[in-house]
Chain A
Amino acid sequence: MALDKNGIAKRIAQELKDGYYVNLGIGIPTLVANYIPEGMNVTLQSENGLLGIGPFPEKGKADADLINAGKQTVTVLEGGAFFDSATSFGMIRGGHVDLTVLGAFEVSENGDISSWKIPGKLVKGMGGAMDLVAAAKNIIVATTHTDRKGNSKLIPKCTLPLTGVSCVKKIVTDLAVIEVTDDGFKLLERAPGVSVDEIKAATTGKLIVEGDIPEMNV
């Protein structure tokens, strides 16, 4: 069975390490916050100027001065910090953020990513995505393996305008965990009950399958 959004987020949470500073993009990546292992110290960074994002506020406690990069009201955890946008992107550009998780329209087999613009449709802007993918030490893409029409999102070469080049290190989809290597997409894990052939059929980019592929532990 292909994973749902929460399943993808749960699997990505296994990539977290104690002491990590992490930037989570909008959509599936935000859900990763719900699966941070108990007792692990992970600090969430929001590029609008917040370290230590807490849960959504209790009913009636929303504060207009306290939002995340998705412009949703949030809270700040004890020991958190506020800062301006230049400082925030200094954390990102300077390599101080350990992990970035974001969504994508397409990922190519050399790690290029398209995530911000579909020609002919309205352009809303890239926000902080280009800064994040160009500078983060470790980038994981959280996405469905195929689009709504069934077309593969893991392809030989991106067809949409790029967000960044050769930057994606790992992809976690509803079907698989894939590492982006110099030789192409390397299959690391399968979603429970999903076969290697199903993953091959959903991947148009070069897929490397070596030996037995274990199931994800989600």
Chain B
Amino acid sequence: MSKVVKNAQEAVKEIKNGSTVMFGGFGLCGIPENCINALVANNAQDLFCISNNAGVDEFGLGLLLRKHQMKKMTASYVGENKEFERQLLSGELEVELIPQGTLAERIRAGGFGIPAFFVPAGFGTEIQGNKEIRDFNGKPHVLELGMTADFAIVKAWKGDTNGNLIYRHTANNFNNMMASAGKITIAEVEELVPAGELEPNQIHTPGIFVQKIFQGTDYEKRIEFITEQ
């Protein structure tokens, strides 16, 4: 069975109302632009979105927000987005904030079959909540749970028809872990090549984690803060 699908519309068509969806990316870097646009068109409602950030007003996950397709957002940092602020303050959107390293590890653990683990982050803060605390090496740690999703949507630089993925520069970020944590993982890539053309030593995400793959088009790759010398 081929993993290759025609385009983003076909890749996201099974994403229904109420689905839990992970989106790779850090800020606007390495986000699955094509699939986000396709989800806006597909109009799935009440999505539970998991992503490090929430995009900006006119780009990335901000597009799903604008159309009120999100019910809940799990992230570590959600600044730089006015519509997000508005929906959060008005109660239209539920938000869960998780320390970035804990979020990354919960996704990695979920995808790797580890139901729970202890980390020091959040001890003594409001993140601790009612979570179990245990001392290791004389230091208190907080029990955190692995996290999976109905769908994980990742963006890579290069991919092959077996689903093997290679990321470019800091556009890897959450994509690699999320690929393992989706019951169905959709990869959009800038360049899709036949299996055998990527150098096996260079693969970041082995194809076993990827169920659907397609070559994206018209990448805008917006930059949030252009800083130059």
Distance of A180 from chain B, by nearest CB (Å): 15
Asked whether A85 and B122 contact (CB < 8 A) given A57-B229, A73-B225, the answer is no
Is B1's CB within 8 Å of the partner chain A?
Answer: no
* A85-B52 in contact (CB<8A): yes
Which chain B residues (93-134) contact chain A, with CB distance < 8 Å?
97, 99-102, 104-105, 107-108, 119-127
CB distance from B173 to the nearest CB of A (A): 5
With A84-B175, A85-B174: A124-B228 Cβ-Cβ less than 8 Å: no
Q: Establish whether residues A62 and B169, one from each chain, have CB atoms under 8 Å apart when the complex forms.
A: no
Mostly, the A contact residues are loop
A49 touches B226 (CB 8 A): no
Interfacial chain A residues near B89, Cβ < 8 Å = 122
Q: Among B88, B125, B127, B171, which residue has its beta carbon within 8 angstroms of that of A65?
A: B171
Return chain A residues, CB-CB under 8 Å to B126: 161-162
Chief secondary structure at chain B's binding surface: loop
The answer to whether A130 and B228 touch across the interface, beta carbons within 8 angstroms, is no
Residues of chain A within 8 A of B170, CB atoms compared: 46, 48-50, 65-67, 82
The residue in chain A whose Cβ has the minimal distance to the Cβ of B220 is A64
Contact between chains at A73 and B108 (CB < 8 Å): no
A59 to chain B, nearest CB (A): 5
Pairwise interchain contact B97-A123, C-beta atoms closer than 8 A: yes
B50 within 8 A of A: no
Given known pairs A134-B119, A134-B123, the reply for A59 and B228 (CB within 8 Å) is yes
Q: Do the beta carbons of A125 and B168 come within 8 Å of each other?
A: no
Asked whether A71 lies within 8 Å of B29 as measured between CB atoms, the reply is yes
Interface residues on A, range: 35 or more
Query: In the bound complex, how far is the Cα of B122 from the Cα of A125, in angstroms?
Result: 13
- How far apart sit A127 and B89, CA to CA, in the bound complex (Å)? 20
Bound-complex Cα distance A142 to B133 (A): 30
Determine whether B172 belongs to the interface, using a CB cutoff of 8 Å to chain A: yes
Q: Which single residue of chain A is at the shortest CB-CB distance from B219? A: A64
Instruction: Say whether B125 contacts A64, CB under 8 Å.
Output: no
Would you give 20 A-B contacts (Cβ < 8 Å), ordered by A?
A48-B29, A49-B26, A62-B227, A64-B221, A64-B223, A65-B171, A71-B225, A72-B227, A84-B172, A85-B26, A86-B176, A89-B101, A124-B78, A125-B97, A126-B100, A128-B76, A130-B99, A131-B119, A134-B120, A162-B124
Q: Which residues of B contact A (CB under 8 A)?
A: 26-30, 52, 75-80, 85, 88-89, 97, 99-102, 104-105, 107-108, 119-127, 157, 167-177, 204, 221-229
Q: Which 9 A-B pairs have the closest CB atoms?
A: A89-B101, A131-B101, A165-B124, A64-B221, A124-B79, A84-B176, A130-B99, A125-B77, A134-B120
